[in-house]
């Protein structure tokens, strides 16, 4: 039975500052789907000693080791040799592979360079995976209770082989287990406050027949709870996760904004569309970011009527009808001005919801009582003004993002009637 996998990506280019290994994402997804956990990933250069050490260690820990890259024809390409050596299998030329590579070159009117014979060397007993998109075949080797899979590095060569490996070599040897996932997204609480509220809930799920695993992921303006269940019965797993998600929603409502993978802008867009509402925004410190995010959603022209980015005080007066006296008396960064902005943009655009953001994104501009990160978000909805003051941490870009998130979240709470 296969339970536990490690992935090793081979190639010195993957150790430069410019390349990340993305093959492992596709491999992880496919392995998870059939209930195999990826416990670790490693990236190593074209170095015999380093590759050997990592492979030996992975072999000690995992049932399944997937190696990508290092199957090319040059002397740098060491994966075949190192794997054969560690597993003490002789490398034998497979003439049918040589013939196939030769034909591939001939079809392009080229002679096969002799070095490509290296790609036909196969550890004895290995199953060969045809490569329709390149010269390097893949290999599957079983040795006692361990399975080793060698795949080429280029994604377009690797991916079609992955299908064959899963179907023919791995899936028949799993317990029929699958991993089903859910993501719960929360806005308006810090990571620790989400944890505090969620911990007593999800500590109950780790026991019992179908334990739910949870991971908490924090990013600015948003906390995600990732839940997963491993089961051979996907209906049972789905229903277990449905229960878990609704318990969490109960503990955290109304701060949960998504349980189906949708982003804040998609959720807000969906609410506006379903209710046939239109929105207009007045953005100062966010500089258009909130509107840009709303319009990242296809079809958003159905509910975004307009926005104004009123960076100068003059534009707040001209475009929104903010009273110069209000700016004078309370400052452009104040709940009064935020509300006047929201009223102004709503009235002029003749829409249902007007939203406004004004604040200090920094790094300059902070002052006594209004430090950098001070942001007022206001909305006018059904004639009523709403305003809230926030104090966001972080860089200018993070403050902008959190302010845009707070504005979208205010629309969500008002329109869904949860505020």
Q: Which of residues 257-276 bind a copy of itself (CB under 8 A)?
A: none
Instruction: Find the binding residues for a copy of itself in span 369-408 (CB under 8 A).
Output: 391, 393-398, 400
Q: Among residues 305 and 352, whose Cβ is nearest to a copy of itself?
A: 305
Residues that contact a copy of itself, how many (by CB under 8 A): 100
Q: Which of 36, 42, 136, 415 binds a copy of itself (CB under 8 A)?
A: 42
Instruction: Find the binding residues for a copy of itself in span 145-164 (CB under 8 A).
Output: 154, 156
Q: Are strands 279-283 and 256-258 parallel, antiparallel or unpaired?
A: unpaired
Query: In which residue are the tokens 């993978």 written?
Result: 261
Q: Which of 69, 70, 354, 362 binds a copy of itself (CB under 8 A)?
A: 362
Residue span binding a copy of itself (CB under 8 A) among the ranges 165-173, 239-247, 268-276, 313-321: 313-321
Give strand pairing partners of 386.
Answer: 379
Task: Give me the least distance between CB of 212 and a copy of itself, in Å please.
Answer: 14
Give strand pairing partners of 258.
Answer: 185
Give the span between the Cα atoms of 370 and 361, in whole angstroms: 11
Helix (H, G, I), strand (E, B) or coil at 75: coil
Binding mask 199-228 for a copy of itself (x = CB under 8 A): ----------------xxxxx------x--
Q: Among residues 270 and 394, whose Cβ is nearest to a copy of itself?
A: 394
Q: Which of 68, 116, 131, 187 binds a copy of itself (CB under 8 A)?
A: 116
Q: Dihedral (C-alpha) 344, 350, 354, 360: value to the nearest 10 degrees?
A: -40
Q: Among residues 257 and 390, whose Cβ is nearest to a copy of itself?
A: 390
Task: Give me the least distance between CB of 292 and a copy of itself, in Å please.
Answer: 4
Q: Among residues 39 and 146, whose Cβ is nearest to a copy of itself?
A: 39
Q: What is the DSSP letter of 167?
A: I
Classify the C-alpha dihedral 248-249-252-256 as positive or negative: positive
Pair 5, 38: CB distance under 8 Å: yes
307 binds a copy of itself (CB under 8 A): yes
Task: Give me the least distance between CB of 39 and a copy of itself, in Å please.
Answer: 6
Sequence-distant (6+) residues with CB within 8 A of 222 are: 185, 186, 187, 264, 405
Pair 134, 50: CB distance under 8 Å: no
Q: Which of 38, 151, 380, 408 binds a copy of itself (CB under 8 A)?
A: 38
Pair 176, 232: CB distance under 8 Å: yes
97 binds a copy of itself (CB under 8 A): no
Pair 141, 147: CB distance under 8 Å: yes
């Amino acid at each position: 039975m296969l339970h536990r996998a490690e992935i090793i990506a081979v190639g010195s280019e993957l150790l430069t500052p410019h390349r990340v290994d993305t093959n492992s994402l596709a491999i992880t997804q496919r392995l998870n789907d059939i209930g195999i956990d990826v416990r670790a990933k490693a990236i190593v250069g074209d170095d015999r000693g380093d590759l050997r050490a990592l492979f030996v260690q992975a072999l000690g820990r995992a049932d399944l080791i997937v190696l990508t890259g290092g199957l090319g024809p040059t002397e740098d390409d060491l994966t075949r040799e190192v794997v054969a050596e560690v597993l003490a299998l002789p490398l034998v030329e497979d003439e049918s592979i040589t013939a196939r590579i030769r034909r591939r070159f001939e079809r392009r009117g080229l002679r096969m360079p002799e070095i490509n014979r290296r790609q036909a060397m196969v550890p004895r007993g290995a199953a060969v995976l045809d490569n329709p998109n390149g010269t390097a075949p893949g290999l599957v080797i079983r040795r006692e209770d361990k399975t080793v899979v060698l795949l080429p590095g280029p994604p377009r060569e690797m991916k079609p082989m992955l299908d064959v490996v899963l179907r023919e070599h791995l899936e028949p040897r799993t317990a029929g287990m699958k991993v089903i996932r859910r993501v719960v997204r929360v806005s308006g609480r810090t990571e620790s406050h989400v944890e505090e509220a969620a911990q007593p809930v999800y500590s109950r799920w780790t026991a019992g027949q179908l334990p739910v695993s949870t991971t908490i992921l924090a990013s600015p303006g948003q906390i995600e709870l990732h839940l997963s269940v491993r089961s051979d019965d996907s209906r049972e797993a789905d229903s277990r996760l449905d229960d878990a998600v609704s318990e969490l929603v109960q503990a955290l409502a109304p701060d949960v904004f998504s349980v189906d993978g949708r982003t804040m802008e998609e959720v807000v867009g969906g609410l506006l569309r379903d209710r046939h509402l239109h929105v207009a925004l007045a953005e100062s410190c966010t500089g258009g970011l909130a509107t840009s995010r709303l319009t990242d959603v296809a079809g958003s022209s159905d509910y975004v009527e307009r926005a104004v980015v009123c960076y100068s005080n003059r534009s707040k007066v001209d475009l929104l009808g903010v009273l110069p006296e209000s700016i004078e008396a309370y400052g452009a960064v104040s709940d009064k001005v935020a509300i006047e902005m929201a009223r102004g943009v709503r009235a002029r655009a003749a829409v249902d919801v007007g939203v406004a953001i004004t604040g200090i994104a920094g790094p300059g501009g902070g002052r006594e009582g209004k430090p950098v990160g001070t942001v007022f978000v206001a909305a006018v909805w059904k004639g009523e003004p709403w305003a809230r003051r926030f104090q966001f941490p972080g860089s200018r870009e993070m403050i902008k993002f959190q302010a845009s998130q707070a504005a979208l979240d205010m629309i969500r709470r008002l329109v869904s009637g949860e505020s």
